[in-house]
Amino acid sequence: MISPKVAFALVCFFLGELGDGLNIFQGIYLVALGWNEGSVGVALSLMGFTALLVQTFAGDVIDKTRLDRRTFLSLSATATAFSASAILLVREGNADRALVYGTKVIEGVSSSFIGPCVASLTLATFGPNDFDGVMASNILWGHVGSIASAVLAGSAAYVMYPDIKYCFLVIGFSAMMAVGGVQLLPEGDPLVGRGLSSRRNDAAEYNAGGGLDRDDVLEPSVTGNGMRNDDSPSDYIDMKQHYTSDEEQIIASSYWSVFSDRKTVVLCLTGFFFHFANANVLLVLGELMGGDNEDGSVKRTAIPLIAGAIVLAQLTMSGATYAGDILTKRGYGRKPLFLAGLLTLPVRCALIIFWKDAGDAWLLSTQILDGLGGGFFGLLHPYLVNDIAFGSGRFNVLMGLTASCFGLGATLSNLLGQIVVEKMGHVASLTGSLLLSVIPIVLFSCCMPETYGQRGKYQSKEVYQVEAVRCSGQIV
């Protein structure tokens, strides 16, 4: 029997294979079938629009559910597999839009549950003290999975050219493997999984005197597996030792008290502008590197080049994730690492503009900066959310809210960025990204306080009351 930490790494590896390559490969494939850039932008943006509408709701469901969160994770991975494979049915020409648009909506819904489920199960199993280290491992193995997916898909597209559509079978296989791996994950402590302490005496520790939502009372579950292992702190793993099944209940903070916190607002706005500037850059880079044959068909090297760009970025992200984890353990704060990630984007945009005619190798090298930025951003996102929300009972809904804001930025980036490419060219689109990338740097540096070491304590007067109350055993 493998340890929980290894099980999480395995699942995140296969979930990582559902990541960056899917949208970009589909975009290139659709252009090869005769779609124009504007139509591709609409298709890719539908997934983002769906996700931004669903993610906050998905996080709330994961917070409140009395069902096993592993079930949600399995269903989401399965839906992604079938949806990604449906592109094999798209015919030549600018046709089958309903099929593509429908599958992107399905992917948007299913992807909305994957992130909160992984984060919640990690918190439920290992508790808040060990959360950072295990999440760093999860994120690292997700990047490794993305590397494997890009290599396999790029190789399949090159070998089977011009039938490049079969590279999408890699995505379907990965999703099925992730579903199998989910069965190895422990359920952990459901109460801790939503950002509450399962220890009775900790209720007073997080009582900050406001923000009470009496319509959202969680009855502690005693159905967890109570699993004890070397990777999981005993204080957070067995609810039965702290609660009986009859009267103790926990009241979570109100949504408004969590959502209106200054740190929440700054994180949401920073992520929105970063992704608004960033998301379209890889697509534009792929169009600059891929090019077309004289007859207008996609070059044989197009998808392998994009696969190389993804591999380089993900390798750098893996290194950035590992370095960020080490620096965090040595006491470096969230703010300098997050700002380091944000600063890579304007440099990257400027270099792509400067090297647009210098050749594929120069353009490809800019993905190192993408890896640094994405690595630090992706690692610190759940850290910051847990710093802000632990003790409120709103950890997953805040994960969903922030992801929705990030997704809105990415969606607008893909949609508007491709329209600008179609009307004004690649340089104009990249220049817009360069100008936008300055906003999150100024916003985060000026308005975000340091949250490192403040988990469960860093809260304003009106935020995060969690108090134990006596009830009759029913949710009220």
Cα separations in angstroms, 81 against 76, 143, 176, 311: 9, 19, 7, 21
**pLDDT value of position 436:** 92
Asked if residues 114 and 121 have their Cβ atoms less than 8 Å apart, the reply is: no
Max Cα-Cα span within the chain? 75
The tens digit of pLDDT for each residue in 35-82 reads: 776 777 777 778 778 887 888 888 888 888 888 888 888 888 888 877
**pLDDT value of position 16:** 77
pTM, 2 dp = 0.73
The tens digit of pLDDT for each residue in 151-204 reads: 777 777 777 766 667 777 777 777 778 888 888 888 888 888 877 765 433 433
Phi, psi angles (nearest 5°) of residue 251: -105, 125
Burial of 333 (0-12, 13-18, 19+ CB in 10 A): middle
**pLDDT value of position 441:** 94
Q: How many CB atoms lie within 10 A of CB 411?
A: 24
**Distance between CA 228 and CA 385 in Å, rounded?**
26
Q: Is 25 left (phi over 0), alpha (psi -120 to 50) or beta?
A: alpha
Which two tokens mark 335?
């703010």
Give the residue-averaged pLDDT of 15-42: 72
Type of residue at 252: A
The tens digit of pLDDT for each residue in 441-468 reads: 999 999 998 887 766 654 433 333 433 3
Domains in the chain with CATH codes: 4-188+257-447 (1.20.1250.20)
Asked if residues 206 and 464 have their Cβ atoms less than 8 Å apart, the reply is: yes
- What does the DSSP assignment read for 197-232? --STTHHHHT--S--EEEEEEEPPP--S-----TTS
**Distance between CA 219 and CA 249 in Å, rounded?**
5
pLDDT greater than 90 at residue 332: no
**pLDDT value of position 297:** 53
**Distance between CA 412 and CA 425 in Å, rounded?**
17
pLDDT greater than 70 at residue 222: no
**Distance between CA 267 and CA 398 in Å, rounded?**
11
